[in-house]
Amino acid sequence: MTPEQTMPQATGPDFDDPNAPEFTAYGGDWSEIADEAARLGQQRVVINMGPQHPSTHGVLRVMLEIEGETVTEARAGIGYLHTGIEKNMEFRTWTQGVTFATRMDYVASMFNEAVFCLGTEKLLGITDDVPEKANVLRVLMMELTRIGSHLVAIGTGGNEMGATTVMTTAFIGREDTFRVIEMLSGLRTNNAYIRPGGVAQDTPEGFVDYVRDMIPLVKQRLDELADIQLKNPIFIGRLKDVAVLDLAPAMSLGVTGPMLRSAGVPYDVRKADPYCGYEDYDFQVPTSTDADAYSRVILRLEECYESLKIVEQCAARLEELEGAPVMVADKKIAWPAQLSLGTDGQGNSPEHIKHIMGDSMEALIHHFKLVTEGFKVPAGQAYVAVENPKGLLGCHVVSDGGTKPWRAHFRDPGFNNLQALSILTQGGQVADVVVAIATIDMVLGGVDR
């Protein structure tokens, strides 16, 4: 074996015995297979889990080699949701790119939009020109989405371990955050609300009070989740000291987010490299040193409470910023129309349509040019990162000076964290694989893009 082959790998070298007998099982003939394997003195069984499996968080495929109930090798197969989003973005304008980006990690869509818009703004050199209210709204939406994403992680994780109440409780809380998101953007998910230069529309009337009413409702659900889970002996038995990922493997596999923080590194991009004005908010970064699945659930719950603190601060700021702009002042970049909600959904505001159709021919030309052709972005490349609920979400954007990205590449935290699946599961029980997948909390839409 060469030194390269002995180093830690998420995907190890191929099994190198060409003479190993192979058993294939379909349907209900497991006992025959097991008998045959026992007759031959073979203990090694390879089973395939997914891509259609209720506990793999979507279309993840895991190939498990088991001996009895013990996992001896685990490999993840991904790509079943590869959508070609990055290539598709090369044929759409920078503003249209947001609608593609938002559909990557569909549980935390606001972060995809934010990181792509921050990248675009960095290329344009208008990072500091984004109005304060737009930044507050971005932070508000991102934190609400973070709560929603963590609730999905905790809820579906509980459901996969057999506790449906955890899922229904978590989703009630998530629906409460959705009501606020919907009031602001008109959509539940895949919002395309954050745009290069600002956000799509201003807050509606009574919004701040609505946000304030939401906070205790979500807090109540978080309390309930903590009450029904954290002291439950079954829950503790399933999660405590399971799927342990210590600091060294976490660092060498590039794991970020709650998984890295559970291993003891308080790394959070919001604190380390603040964006959208995160340096002005008062919040903590919960960290643990237990490095197991149980500590990750606790960290996610604690992060939800911290996010609610940020949401409260956002509400206070929004009150002061009544009537402030939400788009950059540069009309060559800013989306010409203020959007408004009509009976048939979100669209251009009636005043804007009156202006371009009735008052000003130049306004119509400007609107037409900017919407069909888009704005030009100077040639160059930029890399930005935000703290997604799962970890560090990076975006590498390249412009050729035109109105469309030359290349947009996203580093999804789930893609990196999923590499740790082998280390988390090998040597453990088959049932712990589900726990490991649940606490990695990747979303396959983001992993495959």
Partner 1 sequence: MGIEESAPPFMLGTVESFVGWARAGSMWPATFGLACCAIEMMGTGTSRFDISRIGSEVFRGSPRQADVMIVAGRVSNKMAPIVRQVYDQMADPKWVLSMGVCASSGGMFNNYAIVQGVDHVVPVDIYLPGCPPRPEMLINALLELQEQVKSTPMGRNRREIAAAAEAAALTATPTSDMKGLLR
Partner 2 sequence: MSETQDLSGAAPVAPEGRTLINVRQGMFGGPGGDTSGYGGLKRVIEMPGATERPYGEWFDGVVDVLEELLGERAGEAIQYVVVDRGELTLHVAREHLLEVATHLRDDQDLRFEMCLGVSGVHYPADEGRELHACYPMQSITHNRRLRVEVAVSEDDARIPSITSVYPMNNWHERETYDFFGIVFDGHPALARIAMPDDWVGHPQRKDYPLGGIPIEYKGAEVPSPDTRRQYR
Cα diameter, the chain: 87
As measured in angstroms, the least distance from the Cβ of 415 to partner 2 is 6
Using CB under 8 A as the binding rule, the residues of this chain from 76 to 95 that contact partner 1 are 79-85, 87-88
Q: Single out the residue of 94, 100, 96, 125 nearest to residue 112, CA to CA.
A: 100
3-state secondary structure of 376: coil
Q: Single out the residue of 240, 356, 327 nearest to residue 290, CA to CA.
A: 240
135 versus 159: smaller Cβ distance to partner 1: 159
Distance CA 305, CA 302 (A): 5
As measured in angstroms, the least distance from the Cβ of 226 to partner 1 is 18
Interaction partner, residue 189 (partner 2, partner 1, none; CB < 5-8 Å by kind)? partner 1
As measured in angstroms, the least distance from the Cβ of 155 to partner 1 is 8
As measured in angstroms, the least distance from the Cβ of 127 to partner 1 is 28
As measured in angstroms, the least distance from the Cβ of 302 to partner 1 is 23
Q: Using CB under 8 A as the criterion, what x/- string covers residues 88-127 for binding partner 1?
A: x----------xx--x--xx--------------------
Using CB under 8 A as the binding rule, the residues of this chain from 121 to 160 that contact partner 1 are 152, 156
Distance CA 384, CA 428 (A): 37
Order of all β-strands in the sheet with 61-67: 45-49, 61-67, 70-77
Half-sphere exposure of 366 (CA within 13 A, CB side): 16
C-alpha radius of gyration, the chain, whole number:
24
Interaction partner, residue 103 (partner 2, partner 1, none; CB < 5-8 Å by kind)? partner 1
Considering only 94, 111, 171, 283, the residue that binds partner 1 (CB under 8 A) is 171
Q: Helix 132-160 and helix 293-320: axis angle, to 10°?
A: 150
149 versus 262: smaller Cβ distance to partner 1: 149
As measured in angstroms, the least distance from the Cβ of 174 to partner 1 is 8
Residue 350 in the binding site for partner 1 (CB under 8 A): no
Q: Is the peptide bond before 51 cis (omega within 30 degrees of 0)?
A: yes
Interaction partner, residue 383 (partner 2, partner 1, none; CB < 5-8 Å by kind)? partner 2
Which two structure tokens, joined as six digits, stand for 152?
């999905």
Distance CA 327, CA 130 (A): 7
51 versus 249: smaller Cβ distance to partner 1: 51
* Contact positions vs partner 1 (CB under 8 A): 51-54, 58-59, 79-85, 87-88, 99-100, 103, 106-107, 152, 156, 167-168, 171-172, 174-175, 188-190, 444-445, 448
